[in-house]
Amino acid sequence: MRRVFVTGIGIISPLGGTLSLNHTALKSGICGITTLELINSNFAGKLPVGEIKIETEVLKEKLKIKRLGLTRNSLLSLHAFADAVDDSQLTVNEITSFDTALIGANTVSGMCLTDELYKDANSKSNGSEYLFSYDGGSVTLAIQEHYGMKGIINTINTACSSSANSIMYGARLIQNGLAKRAIVGGSDSLAKYTINGFNSLYILSDKICRPFDSERKGLNLAEGAAFLVLESEETIGNKKVYAELTGYCNANDAFHPSSLSENADGPFLAMQGALQKANLQPHQIDFINAHGTATENNDEAESKAILRLFNKPPIFASTKSNTGHTLGASGAIEAVYSILNLTHQEVYQSLHYQTPIASTGLVPVKNYTKTPINHVLSNSFGFGGNCSSLIFSKA
Amino acid sequence: MSLFYIHQTVCISPQKTCETIDLDDVQLSKDNKLQAIEPNYDAIPPALFRRMGKAVRLASGAALPLLNTLSFNGIIIGTANGGLEDCIKFLNQIVDYNEGKLTPTNFVQSTTNAVASQLAFFSSNKGYNNTHVHRGLAFENAVLDAAMLLNEFPEHTYLLGGVDEISAYQYNIESLAGSYKTELVLNTDLYNSKTTGSIAGEGCAMFAVNKQKDGATAVLKAIGALHSDNQEEIIQYLTSFITKNGGSANIDLFLSGENGDSRYLPYYKACQNVLPNIPLKRFKHLCGEYATASSFALWLACKEIQHSTLKTILIYNNFRGKQHSFMLVECVK
């Protein structure tokens, strides 16, 4: 199997619109979770969310793309994609080559446009400009069409693990010889739809989220996008290389549509499979970027799975304490943060944590620390039992 | 290299494809819609059944016979929209009740991965589980995923499926977008129509796929897909696809996704012209137009190969003239 390397990164999150802004914020322990402002909703002015404080129209102007039907979700994707290909110094020929794949992921698709969709779906309009922007594929197709990409193009939706799976799919295309490079990632924007959906399940916290704390009250929704340029070892040449993707695994918990099982089989199998793929022993993992949503169910189940797999659990943290939960984008955003752990040989503190969960006693990283990091495990678990883990290693 | 062998298949479609198979007795469209003939769902517990949206129901009905008889290493689904009906039901609640106290059932069922995860719950399948949603190439990407997995794990067997539903809401959105004919056209007259738009369809096709030749129904030899609206580019792609996969001499049926929409007919004609002396068969009058209709075509190709002397079938489909795919299906030699 060919080795797969990361040669470019693009990211926009509540911590900022560039890689360096995200890095600085993580290092300084900045929390990007604020009160909802930009969505016309009863929750505005009240609910804590990880919101990118740039109006959709401004995002559009900044990107200088004049197409109809671009949703906030697509714009976030386009922003991160542009930075990733720039960072990897890909030429137009490389981007449009049959050998370059594009794998996107999202869960909200164009449903961020609640009011337009309501009118279009219920025949209360003559048709908005967004008729072709409501499905998940539309977000990736906005990139494909803008750049005229010709290689394998795909969109994945496995709920909150979506972009971990897009990274995995892209890597497998390279390893199976179906692409030389794959630009992989995902996005999601805040939406009235998901806010009300997660609220109806009683898993939104009305305070800033506290991953792995015994008093955690639920998650904070967030928005963002990240793309990585993955390249086969044969094509990288003398390029700057951030990290190697050495392990990955997708498994299903097969238990419940919206919560993880007591034994956390899905998370356990995903982490175990990723270790096997990377040909690593548990003790070789230096750090875990946990899924850590701060829901009652996730953090306890994830902790149990970690205790099952690791004799002595490695240090771990949840960057959702900085960003909130970016849903379909979180796998890619946290892949970027895992790569920052590797390239800077450091770990960032998990914020808002005080007391361990009684049944597991696990304590996340409490301070910014310089430490040798060779292998980082990044977890993404979603509704429908969809669990995926990735391992990035020092290149 | 062959991608994989197709063993058991189940298809729920607007035609008699499920409990008794009879494609000669063509079921007619109503109001420009071809709705799936649903089987009896006795195997699904009633409490669960009540909560299922149509896409999950169709997929469960098609997958259960396979899940009950075979063991799978994972489940791979292509669906452009999943449970869009549940999605809009929840959206309507948000608007109609002004973000008040809402019931989460529709929300949970609306996630596109609800299909693949429901099948995992049914069968306690903790293996690979993925949902491809890339519009008109959602099923093709699921096929590619299965092919890669079987290259990585040649001893495995996967459940591969494509599903999409017609819902009132989806029909409204697509109608506003001009996807369906505004005049009434029967599916049996679909290819005589000179206007834009097609007729709406839905369905689910499930396949048990692996690398074992013994007992297989058909073999998927190759798949190719392209995003383009440029005819020349598509022809070039098709020509090289055929050359790479044994040439046109072996192909004895061109199974075309022609859908009665005058805007996309030129693409089908152009591809047909690449294979001038090869018999043509079309399938959209049977299943209607939907983003994962190519899964119906693959099922149909398997049946053709099983019940005729045909040896090699080339399926060509395009979605809205922008997403094109080719699948080469062969008999097991």
Q: Which of B94, B145, B169 sits opposite A169 (nearest CB)?
A: B145
Same structural domain, B146 and B194: yes
Structure tokens at B109: 């069922």
Q: Which of B125, B131, B173 sits opposite A157 (nearest CB)?
A: B131
Contact across the interface for B130 and A165, Cβ inside 8 Å: yes
In Å, how far is B54's CA from the nearest CA of chain A? Answer: 17
Chain A residues within 8 A of B179 when measuring between CB atoms = none
In Å, how far is A210's CA from the nearest CA of chain B? Answer: 24
Tell me: the pLDDT tens digits for A243-292?
A: 999 999 999 999 998 899 999 999 999 999 999 999 999 999 999 999 99
Residue A374 CA to residue B297 CA, distance in Å, equals 48
Tell me: the pLDDT tens digits for B270-325?
A: 999 999 999 999 999 999 999 999 999 999 999 999 999 999 999 999 999 999 99
What is the chain B residue with the closest CA to A164?
Answer: B130
Report the percentage of chain B scoring pLDDT > 70: 100
Residue A364 CA to residue B123 CA, distance in Å, equals 35
Q: Which of A120, A141, A159 sits opposite B173 (nearest CB)?
A: A120
* Best of A46, A154, A184 to mutate (most B CBs within 10 Å, chain B): A154
In Å, how far is B56's CA from the nearest CA of chain A? Answer: 12
Average pLDDT over residues A305-327: 98
* Best of B121, B134, B228, B324 to mutate (most A CBs within 10 Å, chain A): B134
Sign, CA torsion B261/A74/A69/A37: positive
The more confidently predicted of residues B105 and A231 is A231
Same structural domain, B146 and B259: no
In Å, how far is B21's CA from the nearest CA of chain A? Answer: 32
Q: Which of A364, A366, A390, A340 is closest to A16 using CA atoms?
A: A340
Average pLDDT over residues A167-183: 98
What does the DSSP 8-state code read for residue A135? S
Q: Strand, helix or coil at B144? A: helix
Q: Which of B109, B120, B172 sits opposite A252 (nearest CB)?
A: B120
Chain B residues within 8 A of A107 when measuring between CB atoms = 111-112
Chain B residues within 8 A of A150 when measuring between CB atoms = 226-228
Tell me: the pLDDT tens digits for A109-156?
A: 888 888 889 999 998 888 999 999 999 999 999 999 999 999 999 999
Contact across the interface for B121 and A255, Cβ inside 8 Å: yes
pLDDT for A40 equals: 92
Contact across the interface for A196 and B94, Cβ inside 8 Å: yes
Average pLDDT over residues A310-338: 98
Q: Which of B114, B177, B227 sits opposite A131 (nearest CB)?
A: B177
Chain B residues within 8 A of A149 when measuring between CB atoms = 227
Tell me: the pLDDT tens digits for B124-140?
A: 999 999 999 999 999 99
What does the DSSP 8-state code read for residue B297? H
Q: How many of the other CB atoms lie within 10 Å of CB of A93?
A: 8
Q: How many domains does chain B have?
A: 2
Report the percentage of chain A scoring pLDDT > 70: 100
Chains A & B: contacts with CB separation below 8 Å: 196
Same structural domain, B21 and B141: yes
Residue B158 CA to residue A216 CA, distance in Å, equals 39
Average pLDDT over residues B185-213: 98
What is the chain B residue with the closest CA to A256?
Answer: B121
In Å, how far is B112's CA from the nearest CA of chain A? Answer: 6
| Mean pLDDT of the residues in chain A | 96
> What is the DSSP annotation of B98-129?
TT-S--SHHHHHHSTTHHHHHHHHHHT--SEE
| Mean pLDDT of the residues in chain B | 96
Residues in contact with B117: Cβ distance below 8 Å, sequence separation at least 6, in sequence order: A252, A257, A383, A384, A385, A386, B129
Same structural domain, B35 and B165: yes
Residue B198 CA to residue B130 CA, distance in Å, equals 30
Same structural domain, B96 and B151: yes
Average pLDDT over residues B26-49: 94
In Å, how far is A355's CA from the nearest CA of chain B? Answer: 31
Q: Which of A125, A135, A197 sits opposite B80 (nearest CB)?
A: A135
Whole-angstrom Cα Rg for chain A:
19
Q: Which of B91, B109, B110 sits opposite A117 (nearest CB)?
A: B91
Q: Does residue A172 register a pLDDT over 60? A: yes
Q: Domain ends where: B187, B210, B233?
A: B210
In Å, how far is B169's CA from the nearest CA of chain A? Answer: 5
Q: Domain ends where: B145, B179, B210?
A: B210
Same structural domain, B202 and B260: no
Q: Show the domains of chain A with their CATH numbers.
A: 4-232 (3.40.47.10), 246-393 (3.40.47.10)
Residues in contact with B243: Cβ distance below 8 Å, sequence separation at least 6, in sequence order: none
Q: Are A380 and A167 in contact (CB under 8 A)?
A: no
Contact across the interface for A385 and B117, Cβ inside 8 Å: yes
Same structural domain, B23 and B138: yes
Average pLDDT over residues B171-194: 97
Q: Does residue B237 register a pLDDT over 80? A: yes
pLDDT for A99 equals: 97
Q: Which of A114, A121, A150 sits opposite B173 (nearest CB)?
A: A121
In Å, how far is B152's CA from the nearest CA of chain A? Answer: 8
Contact across the interface for A253 and B126, Cβ inside 8 Å: yes
In Å, how far is A277's CA from the nearest CA of chain B? Answer: 11
- Which residues span the domain enclosing B87? 4-210
Residue A151 CA to residue B227 CA, distance in Å, equals 8
Contact across the interface for B113 and A384, Cβ inside 8 Å: yes
Same structural domain, B199 and B226: no
Average pLDDT over residues A146-167: 98
Q: Strand, helix or coil at A234? A: coil
Q: Domain ends where: B162, B178, B210?
A: B210
Q: Strand, helix or coil at A274? A: helix
C-alpha neighbours within 13 Å on the C-beta side of residue B165: 23
- What is the CATH classification number for the domain harbouring B133? 3.40.47.10
Same structural domain, B194 and B233: no
Chain B residues within 8 A of A41 when measuring between CB atoms = 99
Same structural domain, B307 and B229: yes
Q: Does residue A320 register a pLDDT over 60? A: yes
Q: Strand, helix or coil at A221? A: strand
Q: Which of B80, B113, B291 sits opposite A159 (nearest CB)?
A: B113
Same structural domain, B225 and B262: yes
pLDDT for A270 equals: 98
Residues in contact with B318: Cβ distance below 8 Å, sequence separation at least 6, in sequence order: B136, B257, B264, B267, B268, B324, B325
Contact across the interface for B129 and A134, Cβ inside 8 Å: no
Torsion of CA A86, A90, A95, A100, to 10 degrees: -120
pLDDT for B1 equals: 56
Contact across the interface for B92 and A158, Cβ inside 8 Å: no
Structure tokens at B132: 């491809």
Same structural domain, B37 and B120: yes
